[in-house]
Amino acid sequence: MGKGYLCFVLHAHLPFVRHPEHEHFLEERWLYEAITETYVPLIDAFDELVEENIPFRVTISLSPPLMTMLTDGLLQERYLKHLDKSIKLAEKETARTKDTVFYPTALMYRDRLYRIRYLFAEKYHRNIIYAFKKLQDYGRLEVITCAGTHGFLPLLINHPEAVRAQIGVAVDLYAKYFGHKPPGIWLPECAYTYGIDNLLKEFEIKYFFTDTHGVLFASHRPKYGIYAPIFCPTGVAVFGRDIESSKQVWSSNEGYPGDLDYREYYRDIGHDLPYDYIEPYIHPDGIRVNTGIKYFRVTGKDCEKQPYCRENALRKTDIHAGNFLFNREHQIAHLNSLMDREPIIVAPYDAELFGHWWFEGPDWLKQVLRKVHYDFPNIETATPQDYLKKYPCNQVATPCPSTWGNNGYNEVWLCRENDWVYRHLHIIADKMTELVENNSSANGLKQRALNQAARELLLAQSSDWAFIMYTGTMVEYAIRRTKQHVQNFLRLYEQIKSKNIDEGMLNDLEYKNNIFPDININYYKKITGQVFSATG
């Protein structure tokens, strides 16, 4: 029986939510929750496999805002404070739940948080990026990049300079931390349109991913469907998302995370326990938030939630890991009967799915990787680079514009709730190019102002803001962030043009919005001609 390759891709991203001006910023908790629940548990799982000498290959993209926040001293300090508070709460919970059915779970949380503290503070000296780098050096992870601030590139492409800058600053930041250029990129929201690959090629990026129909609807029709990469006419490789493996993990109905024994996400003691008790551990303004301590299992719809049992849940991860691989084995056998080469199955997920939303996700992934090695000789985990090394010759076809958002195209990021952002984003991108073209020999204060203008532009472009406006929750924050960065940009623009730079304001912005300290604004230089000519 022939072999096949399984390509796991984890996309790790959070928008830049660093707020030095305020100690308890609600949105900063997104980062803390993700460190505790996703990033550290994933690293722990991978480390365990390394210690067991199990070979595995997983691709992970770290978005530049996330990398910046994970290496930021202020946020590291605040995270530790947050974690210590969580530990205090977990300790308190072991006393409160003593002699109840919840006690074992309370102990589990307490021990788990102590371990996370050890890993974060002592083993990795607060630097999670280092942990990822080490796993890459061990030949287990292939770390790739993502666009600068997770800009939604298909809706920015009419200003190709802005897209080039999104890619350029990301490549530079990656190189700073990993010592070489990123081999591949995760396009934000898996969103591709004509012309993007031209800009990727400029930075020697070898591959990216699209949703299933990005490759399936490519032209000419791809020989192997989504089970082998295609090359864009520019030579950049494209890997299409597999439907089956995605659905088993993603689907809210049929997916594993909905299993009755897994932990219920919505029953958090931050919302459930009496206010007086929980008050020190929620937001100082009295806003109830998730604490991460949850005692119930999914149980079922419209019935009383039952207590969580860790052993049962872990047993399920084992069963589900086996089931997942059993299905892949069949899929591969079927594909091998049709194909004249070994297929690759691309399974991309949001990293935060694992641990944060699906509490047992990292355990499931660990079990899958362990089982592949011991029990499934016909499946091998591989990264896109591994596969391209093995099969360097691939069909040339133009991918179909697509995203992994609702209905597969751009409607999530271009709807009535958020369409107004583009009239601002486009014109400030235009103005940035104008500034760079007219100030090619700037230095000192002016150079600083130009750099900060570019940072503000980039931050305004995060796809997260449009996404939040679409979902209808925390909308005010997203609108505020968009408007704030546009306003900051416009002020800097006017000051640079009128040669009257307000150094106080500039200092303040540099301090607050300190992403991309070494930004190269030459990426905004005018691109002459079109990156892609849409004449059909």
Partner 1 sequence: MSVSFTLVLGGALILVLLTVILWSTRNKQKKPVPRHVPMVTREEFAEELATPVTFPPQPAAKPDMPVIPWNYGKDRMTLMVRDPNWLFAYWEISATKQQEFSNNFGHDAWNNSRSVLRVYDVTGVESFNGSNANDFTDISINDYVDSRHIDMERPNSTFCVDLGRLFPDGTFITLLRSNIVQTPSIAVSNLLDEEWMWIEGIYRTLTRLHMGSSPMVTEEIGRGMGLIPLGISSPGLRNRKN
Q: Which CB atom, from 76 or from 212, has the smaller least distance to partner 1? A: 212
CB contact at 8 A, 126 and 76: yes
Amino acid letter, residue 306: Q
Among 3, 330, 334, 390, binds partner 1 (CB under 8 A): 334
Q: Which of residues 359-378 bind partner 1 (CB under 8 A)?
A: none
- The CB-of-112 to partner 1 minimum distance in angstroms stands at 19
* Nearer CB in complex with partner 1: 55/258: 258
C-beta of 84: minimal distance to partner 1 in Å?
22
201: nearest Cα among 167, 239, 165, 162: 167
Q: Considering the rule CB under 8 A, would residue 26 count as an interface residue with partner 1?
A: yes
Q: Is 355 helix (H, G, I), strand (E, B) or coil?
A: coil
In the range 142-161, which residues lie near partner 1 by CB under 8 A? 154-155, 158
The whole-angstrom separation of Cα 365 and Cα 47 is 13
What's the burial of 422, exposed, middle or buried (CB within 10 Å: 0-12/13-18/19+)?
middle
DSSP secondary structure string for all residues of 410-433? STTTSSTTTTTHHHHHHHHHHHHH
Contact 178/136 with Cβ under 8 angstroms? yes
Residues facing 423 on adjacent strands: none
Rule CB under 8 A: which of 5-24 touch partner 1?
13-15
> Under the criterion CB under 8 A, does residue 211 sit at the interface with partner 1?
yes
Using CB under 8 A as the binding rule, whether residue 409 contacts partner 1 is answered as yes
Compute the least distance from the CB of residue 374 to partner 1, in Å: 28
Helix, strand or coil, per DSSP, at residue 239: strand
DSSP 308: P
Compare residues 68 and 94 and give the one whose CB is closer to partner 1: 68
Task: Find the shortest distance in angstroms from Cβ 174 to partner 1.
Answer: 19
Nearest distance from C-beta of residue 213 to partner 1, angstroms: 5
Question: Does position 53 bind partner 1 by CB under 8 A?
Answer: no
| Per-residue binding letters, 385-404, with partner 1 (x by CB under 8 A) | ----------x-x--xxx-x
State the Cα angle at 419 between 416 and 422, rounded to 5°: 175
Min CB(484)–partner 1 separation in Å = 5
Among 88, 389, 390, 480, binds partner 1 (CB under 8 A): 480
Identify the H or E element spanning 169: helix 160-178
Longest dimension (CA), the chain: 73
Query: Burial level of 232, CB count in 10 A (0-12/13-18/19+)?
Result: buried
Residues 273-302 that bind partner 1 (CB under 8 A): 283, 285-290, 301-302
Return the C-alpha torsion angle 221, 224, 229, 230, nearest 10.
-20
Identify the helix (H) or strand (E) that includes residue 12.
strand 4-12
Burial 309-336 (b: 16+ CB within 10 A, else e): ebeebeebbeebbeebbeebbebbeebb
Report the residue number, 123 or 483, with the smaller CB distance to partner 1.
483
**Given the complex with partner 1, which of 121 and 414 has the nearer CB atom?**
414
Backbone angles phi, psi at 407, to 5 degrees: 70, 5
Q: What are phi and psi of 349, to 5 degrees?
A: -145, 155
Q: Does 379 bind partner 1 (CB under 8 A)?
A: no
Binding of residue 1 to partner 1 (CB under 8 A): no
193 binds partner 1 (CB under 8 A): yes
Between strands 58-62 and 379-381, the pairing is unpaired
Contact status: 505 vs partner 1 (CB under 8 A): no
Write down the least CB distance from residue 465 to partner 1, Å: 9
Question: Closest CB to partner 1 among 104 and 307?
Answer: 307
Under the criterion CB under 8 A, does residue 4 sit at the interface with partner 1? Answer: no
Indicate the residue among 204 and 411 with the shorter CB distance to partner 1: 411
Q: In the complex, what is the shortest distance from the CB of residue 320 to partner 1, in angstroms, rounded to a whole number?
A: 17
Q: How many residues bind partner 1 (CB under 8 A)?
A: 108
Residue of 268, 363, 380, 456 that binds partner 1 (CB under 8 A): 268
Report if residue 468 touches partner 1, rule: CB under 8 A.
Answer: yes
Identify the helix (H) or strand (E) that includes residue 272. Answer: helix 269-272
439 touches partner 1 (CB under 8 A): no
244 binds partner 1 per the rule CB under 8 A: yes
Q: Which residues make beta-bridge pairs with 210?
A: 240
Q: How far is the CB of 225 from partner 1 (least distance, A)?
A: 4
Which letter does DSSP use for residue 294 in this model?
B
Determine if 472 is a binding residue for partner 1 (CB under 8 A): yes
